Amino acid sequence: MASSEQEQLWNGPSGRVWVEAQALLDRTFRPFEDLLVEAALARSPRRVLDIGCGTGATTLALARRLGAHARCVGLDISDPMLALASERAAREGSQAEFIRADAQTYRFEPASFDLIVSRFGVMFFEDPPAAFANLRRWLAPGGRLALAVWGPPALNPSRKERSVSQRQQPA
């Protein structure tokens, strides 16, 4: 499952804050959502996975735009955010699915998706090479990744803080 640090973070206060601020965060991140949805529409995928889907904004936008014949799945480790995502899907009558799992270790069938997207979710992987190898297994031949990330891991504040705290721990 998820690393205990990330799992505690997103199932504790951080997850609750994101749920409480969902409307504001959706407005703030809407330009990135729009870019991911446009990337998806360019290929007309029928099976889409949203990594680190949070409260479901991008997954639901994809489901709306791709229609009832597409399968849109959101994956996240945060129970509070996934609960809200599921509520939002039910209110919209959306067929979007939400799964609580860690993308680094979860096992979908190989070649399950035509497109994998992520709006600021993949930058939290503890083991990026292993995680991306897992994602690659899930992509069908010719499948694509469409990712929005802040920048390289070294510039991600959560990574910097973790690196500093790890170096300061006694051997």
**pLDDT tens readout for residues 23-80:** 999 999 999 999 888 888 888 899 999 999 999 999 999 999 999 889 999 999 999 9
Q: What pLDDT is stored for residue 164 in this prediction?
A: 38
The CATH number corresponding to 4-168 among 3.30.565.10, 3.30.2010.10, 3.40.50.150, 3.50.50.60 equals 3.40.50.150
- Which pLDDT score is estimated for 127? 84
Every domain of the chain and the residues it spans: 4-168
Burial of 3 (0-12, 13-18, 19+ CB in 10 A): middle
**CA distance linking residue 143 with residue 110, whole number of Å:** 12
- Max CA pair span of the chain: 55
Please list, in sequence order, all residues whose beta carbon lies within 8 angstroms of the beta carbon of residue 161, skipping any fewer than 6 positions away: none
Report the C-alpha gap between 100 and 67 in whole angstroms: 23
pLDDT band at residue 3 using 50, 70 and 90 as cut-offs: low
Average pLDDT over residues 113-135: 90
Q: Whole-model pTM?
A: 0.83
Round the average pLDDT of the chain to a whole number and report it.
86
